[in-house]
A = this chain, B = another copy of it.
Amino acid sequence: MDYLMNCWYMAGWSDDVPGSQLVARTFLDQPVVMFRRSDGTPAALLDRCPHRVVPLSRGIHLGNAVQCAYHGLRFDGSGACIQNPHGAIPPAARVKSFPMADAHGILWIWMGDEPPVEEAIPDLSHIQALPALAQSKGTMPSACSYLLIIDNVADLSHVEYLHASTLGGGAFIGSRPRVAGSENDTVVTITQLSEAVAAPPVYDRFLATPGVKVDLMNRVTWMAPGVLKLDISVVPVGEAPESGLRTFNAHIVTPCTATTSHYWYWLGRDYRPEDADLTRLRQALMTDVFHVEDKPILEAQQALLGTTDLYAAHPVLMGTDGGPTRIRRSLGRLMSAASDNRVSSAQ
C-alpha cells in the first residue's frame, strides 16, 4: 500500500519504550525495533538482521546497541554494525534506521528517506499542559485501515446512531459541520456548532446549573497524516466561554499494515482537575464505547472491503461526509506531491 512517507507517525507513548527493552512494532508494513540509547534518546531500526534475516527484536539491548540473537552482530541506533565477534565487520552489514522524536509524552517515527523535519512534529503540548489527574490515555489496536478510523472521528454524525445510548443526544443532527482546510493540505478542521441545545448527559451534571441550554462546539482538527485533535466546549447560552466546560482530546492513528492500525487516544479537560474518578469514568466510557460500538463496525467495514479502499468502492456520499472527504483529498494531494517530487528529483 502507498503511504505518506516523509512525515511523523506516532510510534507509541514515550513510556512504551523503557530504557532496557527492545520493542517490536510494525509501521507502514515494515517491522521496526525500537529502543533507547544510553542517553535516553529513542532509536528505531528495521527489525531484520542483514545477516540472516532474523528479527533484531529477538536479540538483546546493550547500551547504545542491539545484539542479534542468532550470531551476535551488534548494531547501534544509526544502523551501523559496531561489532562482529566472528571477524571483520562486513561493509554491507548495516540496517535501515528511522529517525525518532520524543515530544510531549509521545514517540514519533519518520519512515521516509528525506531528512526529518523537527518542526513538523505534531504539537499536542496543550493536552500535556492540562492537570495530570484530568488526563488519561489508551491504546486500541484495530483490524482496519487507519483511514476508516479517520473517517469515523471526522464525521461525528455517527454518534447519534452508533452511540445513540451512550454518547448521543441529538447535537450532531441538527447542525451541519463546517469544513475548512489549510492551503498546504496538512490540516483540516471540522467544526460543529449546536446552539441552545440540551447539554449531553456526560457534561450536563457538571454545569453550574444542570439542565440549562448550552452552546455546544465540537472541533476536529486533522493534522496529516494521523493526528485528530478533538476539542469540545459546552457553554451555557449567553455566558462567557470561560464559564463552560472544555475537553481537549486527541485520537492518533498509524498504519500497521494496509488493513490494520495502531490507534491511540488521549483525553484531557479543564474542569474538576482533581477528580480522578471522573477521569477514570471518561476513560472507561471511551474504551467501552470504542470496543463495543466502533471497533466491530470498523472491522466489519474492512472485512467487506477486503483490500479495496473505501473511496474506490464507490460509496454514496452525503453532506455529513464533508470532513472525511476533505481529509482524504488533502492526503491524496500530499501523496501525489510527494511522488511528483520523487520523479523530479530522479531527473
- A contact set with B: CB distance below 8 Å: 31, 48, 50-55, 58, 67-72, 84-87, 90, 92-93, 151, 155, 157-158, 160-162, 173, 176, 296-297, 300-301, 304-305, 310, 313, 315-320
Do residues B72 and A316 form an inter-chain contact, with CB atoms below 8 A? no
Contacts of A158 in B (CB 8 A): 70-71
Query: Which residues of B are found within 8 Å of A52, using beta-carbon distances?
Result: 151, 301, 310, 315
Q: Please give, as numbers and ranges, the residues of chain B lying within 8 Å of A70 by CB-CB distance.
A: 158, 161-162, 297
Q: Select the residue from A52, A68, A84, A87 with max chain B CB neighbours within 10 A.
A: A52
Are the CB atoms of A53 and B313 closer together than 8 Å?
Answer: yes
Instruction: For A68, give its contact among B69, B85, B161, B318 (CB under 8 Å).
Output: B161
Please give, as numbers and ranges, the residues of chain B lying within 8 Å of A67 by CB-CB distance: 161
Q: Roughly how many angstroms separate A315 CA and B95 CA in the complex, as a whole number? A: 11
Q: Are A69 and B297 in contact (CB under 8 A)?
A: yes
Instruction: Tell me which residues across on chain B come within 8 A of A48, comparing CB atoms.
Output: 304
Complexed CA–CA distance, A87 and B318 (Å): 8
A58-B93 contact given A161-B70, A315-B51, CB 8 Å threshold: no
Q: Which residues on B sit within 8 Å (CB–CB) of A173? A: 85-86
A58-B297, A296-B58 known; A315 vs B86 contact (CB < 8 Å): no
Contact of A315 among B50, B68, B151, B305 (CB under 8 A): B50
Report yes or no: A320 in contact with B161, Cβ–Cβ below 8 A. no
Closest to A52 in B: B315
Contact of A69 among B87, B151, B162 (CB under 8 A): B162
The answer to whether A310 touches B53 (Cβ under 8 A) is: yes
Contact of A53 among B69, B161, B315 (CB under 8 A): B315
Task: Report 28 cross-chain contacts, Cβ distance below 8 Å, ordered by A residue.
Answer: A31-B304, A50-B315, A50-B316, A51-B316, A51-B318, A52-B151, A53-B301, A53-B310, A53-B313, A53-B315, A54-B297, A58-B296, A58-B300, A69-B161, A69-B162, A69-B297, A70-B161, A70-B162, A70-B297, A71-B155, A71-B161, A85-B161, A85-B173, A86-B157, A86-B319, A87-B320, A90-B316, A90-B317
Q: How far is the CA of A55 from the CA of B298 in the complex (A)?
A: 10
